[in-house]
A = this chain, B = another copy of it.
Amino acid sequence: MDDIRFAVLGTGGIGRRALEVSQAKQGLTPVAACDRHGIAVDHDGLDVDELLAATEGNVASAADRREAADGRAATGESREPQTDGGTATVKQHGEQAGVVASAQARPTETPIADTIAESDAIDAVLIALPNLEHDFIPEVAAEFAAADYKGVLVDVLKRSRVIGLLDERPDAFEESGITFVCGAGATPGFLTGAAALAAQSFVEVEAVDIHWGVGLQSGYEDNRGTVREDIAHLPGYDNESARDLSDDEIEAIVDDHNGVIEFEDMEHADDVLLERAGICDAADVTVGGVLDVRNDEKPTTTTVTVTGKTFDGERATNTFELGDETSMAANVNGPALGYLKAGVRRNRAGEYGVFGPADLMPGF
């Protein structure tokens, strides 16, 4: 495939790892990266090593996160590494935390508008922002559409209901020329695609079960936003209440679970993404998992099982398992960039609108 110039919105755990993984991929040139305070642009290709070294462990604070969630900042990044007391212990370069620590970056109050201003030379944008407000990522996408961006947007959002918000905007995406690939991380994303492929043996899919294991000891500091979003899936919590938890409260929840938190029947968009691809009913999809923030070893093997009936009347289960040594970061960012490439191909062929991972697989 021809070279793809891409930008990353958000330079937290996912954004930075996406930049890193792209270095090992063919045909991907990162040309812009921003967080709420700054933006780095180089159309000849960012110096990713410099950017990572400057920003590692150096992202926006909890106060910034709440500001973003309140809608007072254009772009937010909640994967903030902090001590329990909320005081940033990370190294600080430049005048502010975040991407401006990189010598390639400059401060800005309007990072998304600044990215859009460069977008004639950007083929794809990975939206690696937290989505603690359900309409945050759809609103970001709407800004790109309003600016007549022609290209690909990819997000790694998780919640089923967000897909509906995106699906309300196909006209804006099509008029602008946007191919929006939604839910393109690990789950939904990688595992949704695996379910879609595993379904190919069947003429009727009866049940899809996605069960993930994540060991996040060494990645915990860099992925607190993800942990917070996961806690929002626990009984008694939702995005709003999880957003308002102090870091101490998060730690207390983690302690209550001895560092190992189990999730059942999560609201993960795999369900609606498989339904809209015609593979099964959303109700037939279950997602659960086990998160261990005190070990890197996975507490359970990440497994997708798809049970269905074949045309010749048999019932069977196809299975997809990820090796336990694969980290969450590997399973989010590889597929995110893989779907980004698939999205660019679609975009260049003139296919616009909203695509889920299963739409980028063989048809069912």
For residue A219, give the distance in angstroms from its CB to the closest CB of chain B: 9
Interface range on chain A (Cβ under 8 Å from partner)? 35 or more
Chain B residue nearest in CB terms to A194: B197
Given A310-B325, A324-B316: A197 and B203 interface contact (C-beta under 8 Å): no
B residues less than 8 Å from A93 (CB atoms): none
A193 contacts the other chain (CB 8 A): yes
Task: Give the distance in Å from the alpha carbon of A22 to the alpha carbon of B359 in the complex.
Answer: 19
Task: Give the distance in Å from the alpha carbon of A198 to the alpha carbon of B310 in the complex.
Answer: 23
> Hey, what's the 0/1 contact readout for A223-258 against B, CB within 8 Å counting as 1?
000000000000000000000000000000000000
> Hey, what's the 0/1 contact readout for A295-321 against B, CB within 8 Å counting as 1?
000000000000000111011111111
A76 contacts the other chain (CB 8 A): no
> Hey, what's the 0/1 contact readout for A198-235 against B, CB within 8 Å counting as 1?
10111110000000000000000000000000000000
Q: Which of A54-62, A77-85, A110-118, A332-340 contacts B (4 or more CB under 8 A)?
A: A332-340
A174 contacts the other chain (CB 8 A): no
The answer to whether B322 and A320 have CB atoms under 8 Å apart is no
Partner of A326, one of B1, B24, B204, B314: B314
Between A and B, 25 residue pairs with Cβ closer than 8 Å are A17-B311, A24-B203, A193-B197, A197-B197, A200-B331, A201-B334, A310-B325, A311-B330, A311-B333, A314-B326, A315-B325, A316-B323, A317-B323, A318-B323, A319-B319, A319-B323, A320-B321, A338-B362, A340-B363, A341-B363, A341-B364, A342-B362, A342-B363, A349-B349, A349-B350
The interface residues of chain A, by DSSP majority, are classed as mixed
Task: Give the distance in Å from the alpha carbon of A175 to the alpha carbon of B308 in the complex.
Answer: 41
The answer to whether A363 and B338 have CB atoms under 8 Å apart is yes
The answer to whether B316 and A322 have CB atoms under 8 Å apart is yes
A327 contacts the other chain (CB 8 A): yes
B-binding residues in A (CB < 8 A): 1, 17, 20-21, 24-26, 190, 193-194, 197-198, 200-204, 278, 310-312, 314-327, 329-331, 333-335, 337-342, 345-346, 349-351, 357, 360-364
The answer to whether B341 and A312 have CB atoms under 8 Å apart is no
Task: Give the distance in Å from the alpha carbon of A317 to the alpha carbon of B203 in the complex.
Answer: 29
Partner of A329, one of B193, B311, B331, B345: B311
Chain B residue nearest in CB terms to A307: B323
The answer to whether B334 and A326 have CB atoms under 8 Å apart is no
For residue A21, give the distance in angstroms from its CB to the closest CB of chain B: 5
Given A20-B311, A317-B323, A351-B349: A330 and B201 interface contact (C-beta under 8 Å): yes
Q: Which of A1, A322, A357 gathers most chain B CB within 10 Å?
A: A322
B residues less than 8 Å from A324 (CB atoms): 316
Task: Give the distance in Å from the alpha carbon of A17 to the alpha carbon of B203 in the complex.
Answer: 13
For residue A30, give the distance in angstroms from its CB to the closest CB of chain B: 14
